[in-house]
Structure 1
Amino acid sequence: MLDVGMGQGTQALRLARGGHTVTGLESDAEMLATARASLATEPEGIRERVRLIEGDGRETGVHFLPGSFDVVLCHGVLMYVSEPDAMLAGLARMLAPGGLLSLLVRNADSLALRPGLNGDWAGALAAFDTDTYTNRLGLRVRADRLDVLTATLAGIAAPLHAWYGVRLFTDGAPDGQEPPADEAELERLLSAEDRAGRTDPYRGVAALLHLFGVRG
C-alpha cells in the first residue's frame, strides 16, 4: 500500500498493524519526523512493514515505478491541491492492474450545511456558489464534487467502483468535543454515521466523500 500525504502516520501504522506492507509519502518534514518517532515505538514486526519517504504526492513518478502498489490511499490531501487532475493521474499509474485507489475529499455539495446549521446565513448563501472554503486550520482550500471526480477517475483508467459519505451527523460538533464516554452510545453514533454514509440521500450531503476507483 502507498499512503500519499500520510501526515503523522496514524493511518499507515494502523494498516501495518493489520499485516499490510505500507509506504508512507509525506512532504512536511515535521509531520514525517512525528511519523518516524511513532514508528520507532512499534514492535520490529510492524516496523519492518513500513517505509517512510519524504516527497510530494504530485511527484510519485520520481519515487516509484508504475504499477508498484495494490492500493494507493490519498486521504485529506486533494483539498490542498489547486489542480488535482495531474496528481490523480500519477496516483493511478502507481496501481497494479486491479489495484484500488482510495480518495477521501471534502464534499463541495455540502459546503452550505456547516455554516447554515450554525446560523451563519451569509456564509451558507455564499457556499452555494463556490467550491472553496476555510477549513478548521484557517486555510482557504478547495472541495470536490462527486460527478467531477467520477469523470476524472474514468479518464485515468481507474473508474469509480463505490463511494460513501463520511461525517454527516458529527460534522457540526465543536472543535475539541470528546466522543461519548459510554461505549454503547459511541457504538450507536458510529453505526448511525456508517448507515448514513451508505444511504441516499444522506451520503450525498456528508462533509466528506470516500471514493474507490479500480485500475482497469
Structure 2
Amino acid sequence: MARQLDEQIIGHFPVGRRLRVLDVGMGQGTQALRLARAGHQVTGVERDPTMIEAAREALAAEPAGIQERVHLVEGDGQETGVHFLPGSFDLVLCHGVLMYVDEPDPLLAGLGRMLAPGGVLSLLVRNGDALAMRPGLAGDWAGAVAAFDTVGYRNRLGVSARADRLDALTESLAGIGAPLRAWYGVRVFTDQAPDGAARPSDPEMETLLAAEERAGRTDPYRRVAALLHLCGSRG
C-alpha cells in the first residue's frame, strides 16, 4: 500500500522536484522516512508520545544526510497554525487520521492553509460508501446490513472510528480552496487478508501491487475499496 500511495502522490509533481512535506499524524514515521530517503524535506507531526519516540529511534538509525531532511514535532495536527506559517509546504499528508476525528472540517481547513500555491493535500480515509464490503465478504450478513446506514465502525483493533464519503470530502476540499484533483481506491482486493499473513514472494507481490494499482484507478473497482486516497490541489 505504501508504494502505491507514493506513486499516486508523486505523480502530481514534476519528475525530480524536491518537496517540502508535512506529514500530520505520522505515527512511527514510516512514510516520512521513505520520502526523506527520496530526497524530500519532511516535517512530521505526531501527538502520541510512544509513536514519536519510535519515529525518533527509526530516524536515529538513518544516515546523517537523511536525518538532516527530517524534523519531528510532538503536537496535535489540529494546531498546525501554531507551528508553521501558511503556505509553507508543497505536500501535506493526512493519512489514517480523519477516521479518529469527529469533526474533520476544522482540521482540513488548517491543513489547507499550509499549502503553497500548486501544493497537494493527500488524504487517506476509510471509505464510507463501502463499509458493508468487509462484513459482507466475511459472511457477517447482519453486520453488512447495518453498515449501509452508518459511517461508524470498529477497526481490527476494536477501536471505534468514522468513515468518510467521497462526495462529502469532495465538497470539503472545494470549500478550503484545494479542490479534488484525483482520487483512488486502496485495498480493493487485499482488505480481507488476515493479520499476520505471510508476505508473498517478490514476483507474486509485484503482480498483487499491479492489480491493486490498476483497480485503484478504475471504476467500478475503486468505489468499493476499503480506503480512499484523495488528492486536492491549491490552485
Structure 2 length as normaliser, TM-score? 0.91
* 1:42 aligned counterpart, secondary structure: coil
Does 2:175 match 1:175?
A: no
Partner of residue 132 from structure 1, selected from 131, 134, 152 = 152
How many Å apart are 1:136 and its aligned residue?
Answer: 1.0
Q: What are the ranges of 5 or more consecutive residues in structure 1 without an aligned counterpart?
A: none
Match of 1:195 in 2: 214
Matches within 5 A, 1:73-84: 73-84=93-104
For 1:38-88, what per-residue CA distance to the aligned partner results, in whole angstroms no more than 9, with x for missing partners? 000100000000000001111111111111111100000000000000100
What is the aligned partner in structure 1 of residue 17 from structure 2? none
For residues 197 and 224 of structure 2, the distance between their equivalents in structure 1, rounded to whole angstroms, comes to 22
2:233 aligns to what? 214
Distance between the aligned counterparts of 1:209 and 1:118, measured in 2? 21
For the residue of structure 1 that corresponds to 2:26, the secondary structure is: coil
Match of 1:107 in 2: 127
SS in 1 for 2:93: strand
1:62 pairs with one of 72, 82, 86: 82
In the alignment, what sits opposite 1:121?
Answer: 141
Q: Of 95, 101, 105, which residue of structure 2 is paired with 1:85? A: 105
Query: How far apart in 2 are the matches of 1:173 and 1:49?
Result: 35
CA RMSD across the alignment: 0.6
Distance 2:56 2:81 in 1: 23
Q: Percent identity?
A: 74
1:204 aligns with 2:233: no
Residue type at the aligned position of 1:103: L
1:143-178 CA-partner distances (Å, limit 9, x unpaired): 000000000000000000000000011001111112
**Alignment length (residue pairs):** 215
Paired AA for residue 207 in structure 1: A
What is aligned with 2:45?
25
- Residue matched to 1:154: 174
- Partner secondary structure for residue 129 of structure 2: helix
- Equivalent-residue separation in structure 1 for 2:216 and 2:195 (angstroms): 21
1:206 alignment partner AA: A
Kindly state the Cα deviation for residue 179 of structure 1 after the two structures are TM-superposed: 2.4
Structure 1 ranges of 4+ moved more than 2 A? none
Which residue, out of 58, 61, 65, partners 1:45? 65
Aligned partner letter, 1:130: T
Q: Secondary structure at the match of 1:7?
A: coil
Q: Which residue identity does 1:99 align to in structure 2?
A: G
Q: 1-side partners of 2:154 and 2:100: how far apart? A: 11
- Structure 2 runs not aligned, ≥5 long: 1-20
- What is the DSSP-based 3-state SS (H/G/I as helix, E as strand, rest coil) of the residue aligned with 1:108? coil
Which residue identity lines up with residue 215 of structure 2 in the other structure?
A: A
